[in-house]
Amino acid sequence: MGRWSAQPMGDYISGPNHTLPTGGMARVRGGLSVNDFVKLITVQQYSSQGLRTLGLRAVLLPKPKDSPPTPNPFAHAYIGGGLVTEAATNVIPVPRARVQAMKEYHPPLGCRDTLRLDFNENTVACSPKVREVLGRISAGSLTRYPEREPVEAIVAAYLGLASTQVALTNGVDEAIHVLFEAFLEDGDELLLPVPTYTMYEIYASATDARVVSVLAGDDLKFPFERLLAAVTPRTKIIAIANPNSPSGSAATRAQLLEIAARAPQAVLLVDEAYFHFHGETVIDLIGTVPNLIVARTFSKAYGLAGLRLGLLAGPAELMRWVKRVLSPYSVNSLALACCRPRSKMPHISIGTSPKF
């Protein structure tokens, strides 16, 4: 009975509704008895967990050479040396419960023939130097795996940091993802001022941590006092978009320093995706504030959203764990090529714009 109770499970595992009892049932009855001439109906029901636990035994028992003369319920499924059983066709892999509970994010994709202000994309263009670099990319260079570390050293030097303090990522989305994977576990809390960028909560929901939202007031200003009050010993990451999207509010440098000091056990992630439109940064405090990590993107001011390039900067002691989770080839060769300077300035340099 039920969707998980395939016939072969009764025939070969939980019997005795088969004339050749298996699964250990032969010790309690013979192949035939008087009961076989009486109308007898047995009912069995498996749970999904029971089928996952015992299903492989039903697959392995009825090998063709050992099959009884009665029709083999698995015979039709021997294809190319593999076995696909009736039981298997009724079962699909089940993801982690945490993944099943995740919120879904559907990008607001649609017609791109008109200007989409909701994406906060550069409405002009990337630097002409980027187009020059892309035009010189050879077909042969695309056959090689990308090497991120040499370019990380260039970017780090440009920011006045050590290469051990910087990791290039496939956009800031990957930066957030790997940071959460590296530091959030069961019992931890992510402290999140809201409203803010949706993906913080989504990536956190894939971990076993709890998201603690701190709601801004009606004026949408940065909820500094409420955030401090929400800090607990379980707080493991505090994620602050500065300036924030969609509200445009910003935390002051003094406020960020106070938050870092109040939660020394937590990573303070300051996402400076819109730094170029704000002008204030805390990236100069990397290495001085031991729990500070800064994220930057090349998607907004530099107009490289299609190349998917971002970075994380933080103390080497924290970045070593981020880099352990980070894929070595997640940043593609085209994006890396656009960060290699001809002189002292990277190709992504735009006039007198601040660094990255």
- Structural domains of the chain in order of their starting residue, each with its CATH number: 7-89 (no CATH), 117-337 (3.40.640.10)
Interhelix angle 198-205/171-183, nearest 10 degrees: 40
Burial level of 272, CB count in 10 A (0-12/13-18/19+)?
buried
Report whether pLDDT(138) > 80. Answer: yes
The structure tokens listed for 198 are 């949706």
Q: Which pTM does this prediction carry? A: 0.70
CA dist 89 and 42 (Å) reads 23
The answer to whether 344 and 313 are in contact (CB under 8 A) is no
List, for residues 214-245, the tens digit of each pLDDT value.
999 999 999 999 999 999 999 999 999 999 98
Residue 341 banded pLDDT, cuts 50, 70, 90: low
Contact 9, 85 (CB under 8 A): no
Cβ contact 307:115 at 8 Å = no
Q: In the prediction, which pLDDT does 128 show?
A: 82
pLDDT tens per residue, range 291-303: 999 999 888 877 7
What torsion do the CA atoms of 286, 311, 223, 233 make, to the nearest 10 degrees? -60
Burial class (CB in 10 A: 0-12, 13-18, 19+), 120: middle
The larger pLDDT score, comparing residue 341 to residue 170, is at: 170
pLDDT confidence of 123, banded at 50, 70, 90?
confident
Please answer whether residues 6 and 90 qualify as being in contact, where contact means their C-beta atoms are separated by less than 8 angstroms.
yes
